Amino acid sequence: MHSSLLEPANPAWRTTLARCHHDCHHTPGWYAAAQCIDHGSAAAVRVTDGTHILLVPLVRRAISRGTWDATTAYGYGGPVLSAGAPAQFADEALATATALLRERGCISWFIRLHPLLNAGWDSPLGRVVNHGTTVSIDLSKSADRLWQETQKRHKEGISRARRAGVTARLDRDFATLPRFIELYNWTMRRLGAAPYYFFHATHYQMLVRALGGDLLLFVAEQADTVIGGALVTVARGTGIMQYHLAGWDRAYHHYQPTKTVIHSAREWGRVNGLRYLHLGGGLGGSASDSLHEFKRGFSPDTHVYRTQRLVVDPDRYVELCGGDESTLEDLDSYFPAYRGPGARLGRRAAPVQAGRS
């Protein structure tokens, strides 16, 4: 097998994705924008046997003396395969990819598996860990069916807001992006979010430039005032919309603008022939917290969210863990262990999340 490590500017990244079922979270544009929030440099490991292809995007985070570890960028990435690739190829290709990363100085590899595209991923390498469920809306259903599946409390909230003059629209030109960023930051502060979830304005600007028409901004308004909004990504080849970030004005919270925004986004997706609006899950993968329950109010459809953890260089991994060899077996806890709370490198990576607000 032939393996290589691709930079975002390498056209092979995009041409490979063209042969694979993928999401916006696998694209070089997404990864280029994610570098500043994930504290590293973007790349994708590509493996082929001449017929089938495996591609796994990642962010390289420096450790010391040329060593680094790899993680999936913010969002749902995970491995993608060319159509028809058998399970045996997937296993062998991932092993080949791991060997290449070790040659290049990688110590560990944390992979967020895509809840929809990696639902059947069954790898024997490392450890695959379940984190709960995420929620999606099946956009192939009729508008009437989607409304029927919406819980009563959500329907009442949407109808109440509509009677009060709240409307929702797609801001095609991102003219309201500064206002959305303001609302998002206010919302994160109210929720007590970790610093990781506060992004510099340049990150949003990079997303707009890199994703173009695959990034959408839906906003809710009352009397020409933007009172809520959400950024949504689109992968047109697979028909997947991802509910990315959302925020609302506390002064208008009684109108529950996020409900109106999601209702508008799913109708836009349905009319435009997309397949899913993936809402994500609860905090930390919880299937019972208020965030997960809020999302379940729009759809009964759920998916298992999992991560895969691989120790690429065992000797160096143990060294970073203070010589504790038990960390090679305990892959279910915080991974990599040397970046956990109070550990040698601290917790600079994103915490495991199954969804965002």
Domains of the chain: 2-132+305-339 (3.40.630.30), 140-274 (3.40.630.30)
Least confident of 6-10, 33-37, 66-70: 33-37
* Helices and strands: H and E segment counts in the chain: 10, 13
- Residues with Cβ < 8 Å from 320, sequence gap 6 or more? 63, 107, 336, 338, 344, 345
Task: State mean pLDDT over 93-113.
Answer: 97
Task: State mean pLDDT over 34-49.
Answer: 92
From the number of C-beta atoms within 10 Å of its C-beta (0-12, 13-18, 19+), residue 7 rates as middle
Q: Quote the distance between the C-alpha of residue 214 and its chain's center.
A: 15
What's the pLDDT score for residue 346?
58
Asked if residues 112 and 280 have their Cβ atoms less than 8 Å apart, the reply is no
What's the pLDDT score for residue 356?
35
What's the pLDDT score for residue 355?
34
Q: Return mean pLDDT, the chain.
A: 92
**260 has a pLDDT exceeding 90:** yes
Confidence at 288, pLDDT banded by 50, 70, 90: low
What's the pLDDT score for residue 78?
94
Confidence at 285, pLDDT banded by 50, 70, 90: low
